[in-house]
C-alpha cells in the first residue's frame, strides 16, 4: 500500500481528533480500520497518529516559531494538522527521508486544504528543516541516510502515553 494513502487516513484521523475530540483509540479503530488488511500500513498509520498526538504541544511551538506573522489559530485547521504530521515525521521517524515527509505534506495540503496551502506548508517545513539541520536535531537513519534504520513498530509505551494525554 502506498504511503500517500496511509497519510491521507492519518490526516483524516487527526482531523477527527481535532474536531470531534474523540478518544485516540476510537479514532484509530474506526478511521484506520481499512488499513488493518496490511499490518505494516496499519502499524505505520497508528504510530504516526499516536506520535503526532503525543507531541502536539512541542510541534505547535515549532510551528509558531516559524509563523511569527500569523495568528496560530487562524491557520487553516488542515494546514495545521498536516504540518504537525510532517514535523512529527521529520523529528521522530528517523527512517523517513526529510524530502519524502515534506513532499507528501505539500501534496496532502493541495489535496485537502486551500489553493495556497501547498506553498504555505512548503515554506514552513523548509524553515523547520533548516532549523533542525542547523541545530543538529535532524537524526535520520536508514537507506540513503545513515547506517541502521530503527524499528518502525509502535511501542506499547507510546500508545499508553498518548492515550493518557488525550484523557
Total tally of structural domains belonging to the chain: 2
Q: Are 147 and 141 in contact (CB under 8 A)?
A: yes
The pLDDT, as a whole number, for residue 156 is: 44
**Residue 113, in any domain of the structure:** yes
**Residue 162, in any domain of the structure:** no
**Residue 164, in any domain of the structure:** no
* CB-based contacts of 82, cutoff 8 Å, min separation 6: 11, 105, 108, 109, 112, 113, 117, 121
More confident residue, 164 or 51: 51
Query: What DSSP string describes 8-34?
Result: HHHHHHHHHHHHH---HHHHHHHHSGG
For residues 75 and 127, membership in a common domain is answered with yes
More confident residue, 25 or 167: 25
Rounded to 5 degrees, φ, ψ at 142 are 125, -170
Distance, CA of 77 to CA of 90 (rounded, Å): 20
For residues 9 and 71, membership in a common domain is answered with no
For residues 38 and 82, membership in a common domain is answered with no
- CA 55, 114, 6, 121 dihedral sign is negative
Query: What DSSP string describes 88-108?
Result: HHHHH-TTS-HHHHHHHHHHH
For residues 133 and 79, membership in a common domain is answered with yes
For residues 43 and 79, membership in a common domain is answered with no
**Residue 153, in any domain of the structure:** no
More confident residue, 67 or 159: 67
* Domain extent for 107: 57-148
Q: Are 17 and 53 in contact (CB under 8 A)?
A: yes
For residues 50 and 64, membership in a common domain is answered with no
For residues 61 and 72, membership in a common domain is answered with yes
Q: Is 75 helix (H, G, I), strand (E, B) or coil?
A: coil
Distance, CA of 9 to CA of 111 (rounded, Å): 13
Closest CA to 47 of 22, 78, 13: 13
Cell readout for 82 is: 498536516
The pLDDT, as a whole number, for residue 145 is: 52
For residues 41 and 120, membership in a common domain is answered with no
pTM above the 0.75 mark? yes
For residues 47 and 88, membership in a common domain is answered with no
The pLDDT, as a whole number, for residue 158 is: 46
**Residue 101, in any domain of the structure:** yes
Amino acid at each position: 500500500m502506498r504511503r500517500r494513502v496511509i497519510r491521507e487516513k492519518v490526516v483524516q484521523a487527526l482531523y477527527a481528533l481535532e474536531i470531534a475530540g474523540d478518544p485516540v483509540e476510537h479514532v484509530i479503530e474506526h478511521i484506520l480500520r481499512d488499513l488493518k488488511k496490511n499490518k505494516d500500513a496499519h502499524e505505520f498509520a497508528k504510530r504516526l497518529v499516536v506520535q503526532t498526538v503525543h507531541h502536539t504541544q512541542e510541534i505547535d511551538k515549532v510551528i509558531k516559531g516559524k509563523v511569527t506573522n500569523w495568528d496560530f489559530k487562524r491557520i487553516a485547521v488542515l494546514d495545521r494538522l498536516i504540518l504537525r504530521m510532517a514535523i512529527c515525521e521529520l523529528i521522530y521517524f528517523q527512517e523517513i527521508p526529510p524530502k519524502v515527509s515534506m513532499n507528501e505534506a505539500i501534496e496532502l495540503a493541495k489535496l485537502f486544504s486551500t489553493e495556497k496551502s501547498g506553498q504555505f506548508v512548503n515554506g514552513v517545513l523548509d524553515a523547520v528543516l533548516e532549523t533542525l539541520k542547523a541545530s543538529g536535531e535532524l537524526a535520520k537513519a536508514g537507506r540513503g541516510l545513515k547506517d541502521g534504520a530503527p524499528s518502525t513498530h509502535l511501542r506499547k509505551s507510546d500508545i499508553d502515553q498518548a492515550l493518557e494525554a488525550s484523557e
